[in-house]
Structure 1
Amino acid sequence: MSKKKVVSIEDRIPKLKQARKKKANRRLIFYLSIFFLLISIIVYLQSPLSHVHTIEVTGNKALSDKEVVEKSNLTTDTNIWMINQSEIQNAFDGNPIIDSVEVNRKLPWTVEIAIQEFKRVGYIKKESFFYPILGNGKVLSKLKRETISGDAPLLINFDDESTLNQMTTELMKLPQNIRSMISEIHWKPQDDNKNKIVLYMSDGYMVDGTIRNFAEKMKVYPSIVAQLNPKSKGIIHIGVGVYFESFEDKTKDKKIEETTAE
């Protein structure tokens, strides 16, 4: 009985053997590439290439860039991938100037610290210097200046801290365009009205009102002025009811139609 010779398919089809070899080579190259990629990542993370090179601080006015960076504890030795954003944000908790902090990576080597400070809503004068006041009533004693730019009102006679806080809270609620129209706010408490204030406006009018609900009533100031003769200046009363008192004839009987702010 004769034996049959077994011939492999690879011997019969040489091209198939060559194709399998190429496939094995490609697989080897793939695994080697993954291996060297992982090695490269490890080397990168352990080398100065992954360190922070630049720290950008934006949005800060009251705090200097140096103060913000020192508070964040970031340095050029910090690994950009090991930054704990929550930890940096928590470092600014309790700061009366800072409203919020956002930390962003800007690859390959830059970190941005975006500061949101409480808005400056006014100034207070002490001796011969002016100091900015934030919306939370904080007076920035480090930022004294000899003049003010007119972007926020000057608060006068606000010696009581509680009253100052109430006033700044109301100013925070005002749109910037109306707040910038107020030149001065004088606190003039009376026996029957401890919250009485008098405003001097940049357009020549005066406003007589109270701290309570001041923002709500003052938001309609542009609508009130639009009903008046621009040549006749006087006092706009926005306390109980709204009426205009001219400087010239001292009349108090011109009622003004109240407009509800949207």
Structure 2
Amino acid sequence: MVDEMTRGNSIPEHRRYSQRLAHLEKRNISARKGPHQPIGNKVVGIKKQRQNSSKKRISALMWLFGIVLLVMIYIILPISKITNITISGNNELTDREVEDASTIRPGRLIWTAWLGQKYLEHEARIKNPQVKTLEVSLRGLKSVHVAITENRLLGEAQVGKQKHAVLSNGQLQLTTAHNTNIDFQGFESHRQQLEILGQQLGKLKPVISHGISSVKYQPTKESPHQVILYMKDGNTVKATLTNVGDKMKYYPSILTKMKGQGVVDLRIGAYSYNYGAKDK
């Protein structure tokens, strides 16, 4: 009787034990299916990653090679070379002089002219000081436009034994050409003063500077930097070379108050008097 009761009580214990084993087995199966994959699967994954990485590198190299090849073909083809050049902004320089200074000519690679324009501008100013700024723009596959601004040619002067062109930025340029602009006198041994005067007169509007016939450097004890401007309208202007550009701006308004030809004195203040009148 006791044995039967013992066996009756042990049956549920066996069931619970069996159920627990089954539960543990399920957990082990789930764990094996989780992130901990077999070594064989890991090896296959690594191989796939390496293959994808190799494909990407090969693809990048092919793109790079293709771009280099296209650039090389473009350089060889005539389409990469300049055939047409237009120039604007030059009033005193000829188109040929601009081309020579900038080295932008038919046959040059168009991309070197466009990408290297800062260098070209620097070189152009050295070759021809009349070039102030230079800008290159593309106007087609084989056409470029060159826009420049100039340092105006004010006139010419004798410095030492050589004749120089005087530019509006104060630079002096050796020249053999004759021009009918301002005739600078008295600067044979005064190069620095001539450069200062060029910078000053470069501030003037062309309508005023074109009215100057000649300028004479005539320093005195009282006015050590005196310059005399002889105007095309018959007037004479006394000024100081260090500020003549600033004061000559008022010359047109002074003319409206003059009753005839005479002297305009800009050395100290600004006033005028007719020829023959008592010197003030």
TM-score relative to the length of structure 2: 0.62
Q: CA shift at 1:201, angstroms? A: 1.0
The runs of at least 4 aligned residues of structure 1 exceeding 4 Å deviation read 60-64, 79-83
In structure 1, the partner of 2:136 is: 103
Please tell me whether residue 140 in structure 1 is matched to residue 139 in structure 2.
no
In structure 1, the partner of 2:120 is: 88
Specify the SS of the correspondent of 2:155: strand
Measured in 1, the distance between the counterparts of 2:118 and 2:185 equals: 40
In structure 2, the partner of 1:205 is: 235
**Structure 1: which 5+ residue stretches go unaligned?**
1-37, 254-262
In structure 2, the partner of 1:158 is: 187
Specify the SS of the correspondent of 2:82: coil
Q: CA shift at 1:241, angstroms? A: 2.9
Kept in 2, the 8 Å contact 1:55–1:113? The answer is yes
**What do you get for the CA RMSD once the two structures are aligned?**
3.5
1:216–1:66 Cα change, 3 Å: closer
Matches within 5 A, 1:112-123: 112-123=145-156
In structure 2, the partner of 1:173 is: 203
Kept in 2, the 8 Å contact 1:122–1:132? The answer is yes
For 2:278, give the aligned amino acid.
Answer: T
Kept in 1, the 8 Å contact 2:211–2:232? The answer is yes
**What whole-Å deviation, never above 9, does each CA across 1:23-47 have from its counterpart, x for those lacking one?**
xxxxxxxxxxxxxxx9xxx598353
For 2:245, give the aligned amino acid.
Answer: A
For 2:228, give the aligned amino acid.
Answer: V
In structure 2, the partner of 1:258 is: none
Choose from 71, 85, 100 the match for 1:55: 85
In structure 1, the partner of 2:39 is: none
Measured in 2, the distance between the counterparts of 1:155 and 1:211 equals: 12
Deviates more, 1:171-180 or 1:74-83: 74-83
**What is the count of residue pairs matched by the alignment?**
208
Specify the SS of the correspondent of 1:222: helix
Q: Which has the higher helix share?
A: 2
Measured in 2, the distance between the counterparts of 1:218 and 1:56 equals: 37
Q: CA shift at 1:88, angstroms? A: 2.9
Kept in 1, the 8 Å contact 2:200–2:244? The answer is yes
Kept in 1, the 8 Å contact 2:83–2:107? The answer is yes
For 1:235, give the aligned amino acid.
Answer: V
> Percent identity among equivalent residues?
21
Which has more radius of gyration? 2
Kept in 2, the 8 Å contact 1:121–1:168? The answer is yes
Choose from 213, 217, 236 the match for 2:264: 236
Kept in 2, the 8 Å contact 1:246–1:252? The answer is no
Choose from 213, 220, 226 the match for 2:256: 226
Q: CA shift at 1:178, angstroms? A: 0.9
Kept in 1, the 8 Å contact 2:114–2:136? The answer is no
Specify the SS of the correspondent of 1:204: coil
Specify the SS of the correspondent of 1:173: coil
Kept in 1, the 8 Å contact 2:226–2:241? The answer is yes
1:224–1:93 Cα change, 3 Å: closer
Specify the SS of the correspondent of 2:172: coil
For 1:102, give the aligned amino acid.
Answer: E
